[in-house]
Amino acid sequence: MAKKSVQKAKNTKPFIGILVAIGLVGVAAIGYLATRSADAEIMRIDTSVPIGKAESYLIGREDAPVQVVEFADFECPSCGSWATLTEPDVRARLINTGQVAIRFYDFPLPMHKNTWAASNAAACAAEQGKFVEMHDRLFQGQIEWNGEATSKPKGVFMGYAKELGLDVAKFESCFDSQRMIPRIKGNRAEAERRQIAQTPTFVIGDKAIPGDIPFDQFKKYVDDELAKHAPAAPKSPAK
């Protein structure tokens, strides 16, 4: 700093002006970005609706030896990546073979403005026995209905309902009534109770594994659990 800085120190007016300008630009930029993602028409959740009982959605067989608990947010990109890239392998090799079942709990995060609506759509599809189909469709089409794409996701979900062969009138009535919100709130409360900090998170046995984990890693945890369930090998006869 020395001499040069001492000279600068005496002439601080332009400097203060620059700082004020940066401050104003910073405040304006944050304001603009926040407004761009503003939730003017997001699905409003009635806060007086009580938290319901946590009730997961089953993907796979109820009696599968390994029951994986998944906490996910329909609008979270990592959840979408796992559901569209890794889960098909998990379904084909582990779920359809009866080794694993996934119990899916909604964990809608506050920064995703359309995630409650997506959970609502999934719950209403579940009412007609098509949770898995809607789950897959929501994740595949995430960029069509997420908060960046639209502030009115219901129209997209109605399209999915029709595409999946749901009774559209019944689906819409369910969606608008928000009667599934207590269940979604319950599922979210379950995630909070278990101190889940990230989506997706998979609970396999006594381990909570966060993140968009690859198939091999998922299978390794499943194999560890299967080994625990495997009947003990018969003891070799004494010689």
Number of residues that bind other proteins (CB under 8 A): 45
| Residue whose CB is less far from other proteins, 84 or 128 | 84
CB of 65 to other proteins, least distance (A): 28
CA dist., res. 99 & res. 136, Å (int): 21
CB of 166 to other proteins, least distance (A): 28
Tokens 């709130």 correspond to 185
CA dist., res. 184 & res. 106, Å (int): 6
| Residue whose CB is less far from other proteins, 128 or 150 | 150
Neighbours of 153 (CB within 10 A): 26
CB of 149 to other proteins, least distance (A): 10
> Where are the extended beta strands (E) located within 41-146?
57-59, 66-72, 100-106
CB of 105 to other proteins, least distance (A): 17
Cβ–Cβ under 8 Å, residues 135 and 122: yes
- Contact pick of 192, 197, 217, 220 for other proteins (by CB under 8 A): 197
CB of 32 to other proteins, least distance (A): 9
The structure tokens listed for 111 are 């920064």
Among 46-54, 84-92, 109-117, 223-231, the segment contacting other proteins (CB under 8 A): 109-117
Taking CB under 8 A as the rule, does residue 144 contact other proteins? no
CA angle 155, 161, 163 (to 5 degrees): 105
Q: How far is CA 159 from the centre of its chain?
A: 21
Neighbours of 210 (CB within 10 A): 14
Taking CB under 8 A as the rule, does residue 85 contact other proteins? no
Neighbours of 89 (CB within 10 A): 15
- Contact pick of 10, 13, 193, 239 for other proteins (by CB under 8 A): 10
Where do contacts with other proteins occur on this chain (CB under 8 A)?
1-6, 8-10, 12, 15, 18-19, 22-23, 25-27, 29-30, 33-34, 36-39, 76-78, 81, 109-113, 143, 146-148, 197-199, 210-212
